[in-house]
Amino acid sequence: MAIMPVGNLAKTILSNKMTSLNIAFSGISALDTYQTEREEGAGFAKTTASAVFDAALASTVGFVPYLAYSMAKEIPGLAVDAYQAYGQYSRQLGAMQKQQAFQNAKFNDTEQAYTMRQAGMAIAQRSRYNVQQAMLGNEAKYMMR
């Protein structure tokens, strides 16, 4: 078995860029499939078979179709995750809304309510004025002794 010089290997790789890229992508895809399934708890035989199948599929159909296949395979899971996140967010907003005071209260400013508010303010002012007068009167009463 003859070993190719590094210069010839580089020329071969550069002249067959797409094939080289496809082989590299197949290897990366197989490695990723193997690691993902092992992390999920699958056995050695199953993960190896899946990795070999992924590598063969990636190198057979090409980079772009395999990428489309991988994305299409993930879409249902992403849709379920998005639906669950939306449900959780809406429940959180509902809980926050229930904790707000006077959330359904609407203030209708009519002429009568305005007049009543003015009357209430006038009463409060008179009361404050009467308290001040009483305090001044008591003060004067004690000063005159």
pTM exceeds 0.85 for this model: no
Average pLDDT of the chain, as a whole number: 80
Share of the chain above pLDDT 70, in %: 81
Closest C-alpha among 54, 59, 56 to residue 70? 54
At residue 26, the pLDDT reads 79
Residue 75 has pLDDT above 60, yes or no: yes
Stronger pLDDT, 83 or 101, i.e. the higher one: 83
pLDDT in tens, 13-56: 556 666 667 777 778 888 888 888 888 888 888 888 888 888 88
Closest C-alpha among 58, 80, 60, 83 to residue 70? 58
Handedness of CA 56, 58, 60, 65 (dihedral sign): positive
At residue 51, the pLDDT reads 86
In three-state secondary structure terms, 107 is coil
At residue 1, the pLDDT reads 45
Exposed / middle / buried, residue 96 (Cβ in 10 Å: 0-12, 13-18, 19+): exposed
Alpha-carbon gap, residue 26 to 62, rounded angstroms: 9
Q: Which tokens hold the place of 72?
A: 């299409």
Exposed / middle / buried, residue 50 (Cβ in 10 Å: 0-12, 13-18, 19+): middle
Residue 66 near residue 83, CB atoms below 8 Å: no
